[in-house]
Structure 1
Amino acid sequence: MTKLLADIKGDKMIWAVSALLALFSFLPVYSASSNLAYLYGDGNTFIYLIKHFAHLVLGFLIMYGIHKIPHHYFKGLSIIMIPVVVILLLVTMAQNTTIEGANASRWIRVPFVGVTFQTSTLAAVVLMAYVARYLSRIKDKVVSFKETLLPLWLPVFLILILILPANFSTTAILFSMVMVLVFLGGYPLKYIAIILGAGFLILTFFVLFAKAFPGVFPNRVDTWVSRVENFVDDKDTQEDYQIERAKIAIARGGIIGAGPGKSVQRNFLPQSSSDFIYAIIIEEWGFVGGIFLMLLYIMLLLRLVIVAHKSVDIFGKLLVIGVGLPIVFQALINMAVAVELFPVTGQTLPLISSGGTSIWMTCLAIGIVLSVSAKREAILEEEQIKEKEENPLEVLSEVL
C-alpha cells in the first residue's frame, strides 16, 4: 500500500478532493437508488451501490493510468482521436432505438459487453485537448482567421453539430468552454466575435430546420423551448414537475438535513440518483452538506488554476484549463438547476451522480490534469538531485 501511494504522482490535493467526492457519493447514490429499484421492479438497491462502486473503481484506474502518461503525448493522441470520435458520434446518431426509455442517439452500446457509453462526453475531452494543442502551436504567432478555419474550427463545429441534435446542453457547455479556452489562449477577439456569430447562425438554422421537418429530429427543439419556458414561467405545470420536487426536497433539508437515507423526494423525483442528486443531498444533509460539496468543487477549481499556472509549457497550461474547467462548470450548472437558478439541462454532478460514462470521462480529464502536474514534480525532483550532486557536503550529511 505504501509503495502504491509513493507511486502516485501529481497534485495531492486534486487526488484528495477526487477521493472525497467519490467516497461521499456512495451515501446519496445508495439512498436515491431506491427509486430505480422501484421503477425496474427488482427492489434491490444494493445492486446499484455495487454498480456505482465498480464505476468508480474503473474510473480511478483510468485516472491512475492516464496520469502516468507524459502530458505532451496528448498532443498526438488528440489528433488521432478526433476522427475516432467523429465516427463514434455518427454511429451513435444513426441509431434509432431507445435504451431504458431514453433517446439512444446519446448512447452507443459496446458490443459483447452490454455496456452503454455516451460518446459526447469522450468527444468533449478529446476536443478540448485538440484545441489546447492547436492554440499552443500558434501562441505568439500572427495568424489570419482563414488560416485557423480548417485546422481549428472545422473539427470544433463538426463535433458540435453531431452532438447538437441529441444533446443541446452538452453542445452549449462545450462551445462555451472552447470560447473560454481560445480567449485564454490569446486567440484574437475579433475572430472570437466571428465564431460566436457563426455559432448563433448555425443554431438558428438548426432550429428552423427542425421546426420545418419535425420528423427528422422529433421533439428535440420542443423540449428545449419547453424547458426555457418552464424556467421563465412561475406557473405550476406538469412539465416542471422535476424542479418542483427538487425545491420541496431542498426546503425539507433545512440547515442540517433530514439525515442520511431519510429522503422522501427520492421516491418521487425522476433522475434522483443522477441529474437531481444535489437536491437529494440537501434534503438529507441540509444546507451544510450542500455548501460542503460546493466547497470541494471550488477547491478543485483553485487547484486547477495553480497547476495551470505552474505548468512548464503553454500546452500544459491550456490542457489543464481545457479539460479541467468543464468539470467544475458542469458541477455548478447541476447545482444551479437543482435550486432553479438555471433551466433543466440533464447534466450530472461529476464524481457524485451515478452513471459510468460521466464518472469515467471525469476521471480521464482529472488524470490528464495530474499528468501535467506530475511533469512539474519530476522537474523539481531533477533540480534537487542536481543541487545535491553539486553539493557533496549535503549528500555526506544525509548518509551520516
Structure 2
Amino acid sequence: MIRLARTNRSQIAEWWWTVDKWTLFALFCLMLIGGVLALAASPAVAMRIHLPPFHFVYRQLFFFVPTIAVMIGVSLLNVRQVRRLAAAGFLIAFGLMLLTLVIGPEVKGAHRWLQIGPLAIQPSEFVKPSFIVLASWMFAEAQRTPGFPGTIIALALYTMVVGILAMQPDFGQLMLVTMVFGAIFFMAGLSWRWIVSLGTVAIIGALAAYTLMPHVASRVDRFLNPDSGDTYQIDRALDAFHTGGFFGRGPGEGEVKRILPDAHTDFIFAVAAEEYGVVAGLIIISIFGFVVMRTLSRAMEEQDLFVQFGACGLVALFGLQALINMSVNVDLIPAKGMTLPFISYGGSSMIALGYTMGMLLALTRRRAGSHVTPPNGKRAYA
C-alpha cells in the first residue's frame, strides 16, 4: 500500500500533494449530479425510442470510468508533457475532423461524427482543448522570444479549426472556440488594431452565417420572434422552471423529460430545475462558478505565461460551454445543441471533458519555484 506522505517521492504521492484537490472534488460533484440526473431524465427518453429504461443510465456510468481515468492520467503530466500531448492530440483529432467531411454520417444536416465500431466520436470535442493549449503556447512564446511568429501561428491554427467547423457545419462550436481564442488573445495583450480587425471579421462571419445557413437564421429568428417558428423545446423547458418552483416537484415527478427529445442532453438543466427546484439549479451554477474562479485565482499566482494562458483558456472553454447550455435552457440566447459538462449524457464528449480538465489540473498543480520570478524577469519553461 502506497502511503501518500509528504516524504513519499512517488509520482502518485507528488500528484496528490500538488494537484488542486478542491477543483478535483468539484468535478467529481458534477459527475455525481450527472449520474443522479441521468436516473431522472433518461429512462423516459429511452422508452420513447424503444430502448431499455436504463440504457442511457448504464452508458453514462460506463463512460464515467474512462473519463476519470483520462482526467487523472493527464493531470499527472508536467507542463512540457501537456504541450506535447496537446500537439499530438490536435494532429490526430484534426485529421479525424477532416474525415468527418468525407465519410462521416449526416446527422441533422451536419457531418460531425465518426462511427468507430459501437462508438460514435465527435473529433471537434478533442480538437478544442488541444487547440487552446497550442494557441496559449504560441502566444506565450511570442512574448518570451522576440521575433518568434507565435501570434501568426496561433491565428493560422484558429483559421484551420474554424474553417473545418464551418464546413461541417457546427456554428455553435465555432462561436465557442472564437470566444475562448479571443479571450486568450486579449490576455496576451493584443493591440487595438487586432481588436478592430478581429471584431470586424467576427461580425462579417456572424452575418454570413445568418445569411448562408438556414438553420442558424431559423434559430435566431425564433429567438427574436417566437411566433416566427417552432419554439416547442424552449417553451417546455421554461414550463419546467415555472412548475419546479423553489424546491421542485420531487424526484421522478417531472413532466418535461417525458416530452422533450433532448431531455437527457441539451435540456437536462431544465429537468433538474423541475424535479429539484431553483435550489438545485443554483447549486449547479455555483459549482461551475467555483471551478472557474478557483482556476483563475491559481492562474493569477503563476509566473509562467503559458500556464496562465493555458489554464485560463481551458477553464473558459469549460465555463462558457456550461453557460451556453444553461442560457439556452432559460431562453437567454438562441437554441444551440451544447451539452452541460459532466452532467449531460455523452460518450466521446464526456471523455473529451476528462481530457480537457486533466490538462487543466496538470497546469494548475503547485510546482517548486512556479510562483517565483527569476532575477532576469523571465521564467524558464519546463
TM-score relative to the length of structure 2:
0.87
- Taking the aligned partners of 2:54 and 2:234, their CA distance within structure 1 comes to 27
**1:139 alignment partner, SS class:** helix
Please tell me whether residue 290 in structure 1 is matched to residue 281 in structure 2: yes
- Taking the aligned partners of 2:2 and 2:286, their CA distance within structure 1 comes to 29
The answer (yes or no) to whether the contact 2:70–2:358 under 8 Å persists in 1 is yes
Of stretches 76-85 and 160-169 in structure 1, the one that deviates more from structure 2 is 76-85
Map 1:36-47 → 2, pairs under 5 A: 36-42=45-51, 44-47=52-55
Q: What's the % identity of the aligned pairs?
A: 23
- Taking the aligned partners of 1:171 and 1:93, their CA distance within structure 2 comes to 16
Pairs aligned (count): 361
Letter in 1 for 2:54: F
- Taking the aligned partners of 1:16 and 1:222, their CA distance within structure 2 comes to 42
- Taking the aligned partners of 1:149 and 1:315, their CA distance within structure 2 comes to 13
Letter in 2 for 1:187: L
The answer (yes or no) to whether the contact 1:139–1:186 under 8 Å persists in 2 is no
Letter in 1 for 2:350: I
**Residue 388 of structure 1: aligned partner:** none
- Taking the aligned partners of 2:363 and 2:295, their CA distance within structure 1 comes to 10
The answer (yes or no) to whether the contact 1:311–1:372 under 8 Å persists in 2 is no
Quote the offset at 1:81 in angstroms.
3.7
- Taking the aligned partners of 1:233 and 1:205, their CA distance within structure 2 comes to 20
Quote the offset at 1:194 in angstroms.
1.6
- Taking the aligned partners of 2:118 and 2:21, their CA distance within structure 1 comes to 35
- Taking the aligned partners of 1:18 and 1:372, their CA distance within structure 2 comes to 16
**1:116 alignment partner, SS class:** strand
Q: Structure 1 unaligned runs (5+)?
A: 211-220, 381-400
Of stretches 309-318 and 196-205 in structure 1, the one that deviates more from structure 2 is 196-205
Quote the offset at 1:204 in angstroms.
4.7
Please tell me whether residue 196 in structure 1 is matched to residue 204 in structure 2: no
Map 1:334-345 → 2, pairs under 5 A: 334-345=325-336
- Taking the aligned partners of 1:103 and 1:11, their CA distance within structure 2 comes to 42
The answer (yes or no) to whether the contact 2:247–2:277 under 8 Å persists in 1 is yes
Distance 1:3-1:169 versus aligned 2 partners, 3 A rule: farther
Please tell me whether residue 307 in structure 1 is matched to residue 266 in structure 2: no
- Taking the aligned partners of 2:30 and 2:150, their CA distance within structure 1 comes to 39
Distance 1:52-1:14 versus aligned 2 partners, 3 A rule: same
**Residue 221 of structure 2: aligned partner:** 229
Quote the offset at 1:334 in angstroms.
0.9
- Taking the aligned partners of 1:96 and 1:26, their CA distance within structure 2 comes to 30
**Residue 68 of structure 2: aligned partner:** 60
Of stretches 241-250 and 75-84 in structure 1, the one that deviates more from structure 2 is 75-84
- Taking the aligned partners of 1:149 and 1:372, their CA distance within structure 2 comes to 21
Distance 1:332-1:3 versus aligned 2 partners, 3 A rule: farther
Task: Output one character per residue of 1:136-188: Cα deviation in whole Å (capped at 9) or x when no partner.
Answer: 101266669xx567522111111111012321011001101100111012232
**Residue 9 of structure 2: aligned partner:** none
The answer (yes or no) to whether the contact 1:308–1:316 under 8 Å persists in 2 is yes
The answer (yes or no) to whether the contact 2:210–2:216 under 8 Å persists in 1 is no
**Residue 162 of structure 2: aligned partner:** 160
- Taking the aligned partners of 1:362 and 1:148, their CA distance within structure 2 comes to 27
Distance 1:133-1:260 versus aligned 2 partners, 3 A rule: same
Please tell me whether residue 48 in structure 1 is matched to residue 56 in structure 2: yes
Correspondence for 1:130 among 123, 129, 134: 134
Quote the offset at 1:201 in angstroms.
3.6
- Taking the aligned partners of 1:303 and 1:59, their CA distance within structure 2 comes to 22
Q: Tell me which structure has the larger Cα radius of gyration.
A: 1
**1:290 alignment partner, SS class:** helix
Quote the offset at 1:233 in angstroms.
0.9
- Taking the aligned partners of 2:55 and 2:2, their CA distance within structure 1 comes to 32
TM-score relative to the length of structure 1:
0.84
- Taking the aligned partners of 1:193 and 1:77, their CA distance within structure 2 comes to 33
- Taking the aligned partners of 2:63 and 2:302, their CA distance within structure 1 comes to 30
Task: Output one character per residue of 1:297-350: Cα deviation in whole Å (capped at 9) or x when no partner.
Answer: 111111111221233411111110111111111111111111111110111100
The answer (yes or no) to whether the contact 1:95–1:104 under 8 Å persists in 2 is no
Quote the offset at 1:364 in angstroms.
1.3
- Taking the aligned partners of 1:336 and 1:284, their CA distance within structure 2 comes to 19
- Taking the aligned partners of 1:24 and 1:192, their CA distance within structure 2 comes to 39
**Residue 181 of structure 1: aligned partner:** 184
**Residue 21 of structure 1: aligned partner:** 30
**2:227 alignment partner, SS class:** coil
Letter in 1 for 2:242: A
**Residue 153 of structure 2: aligned partner:** 151
- Taking the aligned partners of 1:310 and 1:292, their CA distance within structure 2 comes to 27
Distance 1:324-1:149 versus aligned 2 partners, 3 A rule: closer
**1:262 alignment partner, SS class:** coil
The answer (yes or no) to whether the contact 2:43–2:54 under 8 Å persists in 1 is no
**Residue 362 of structure 1: aligned partner:** 353
Quote the offset at 1:202 in angstroms.
4.7
Distance 1:203-1:241 versus aligned 2 partners, 3 A rule: same
- Taking the aligned partners of 2:233 and 2:178, their CA distance within structure 1 comes to 27
Quote the offset at 1:278 in angstroms.
0.4
The answer (yes or no) to whether the contact 1:89–1:162 under 8 Å persists in 2 is yes
- Taking the aligned partners of 1:284 and 1:244, their CA distance within structure 2 comes to 17
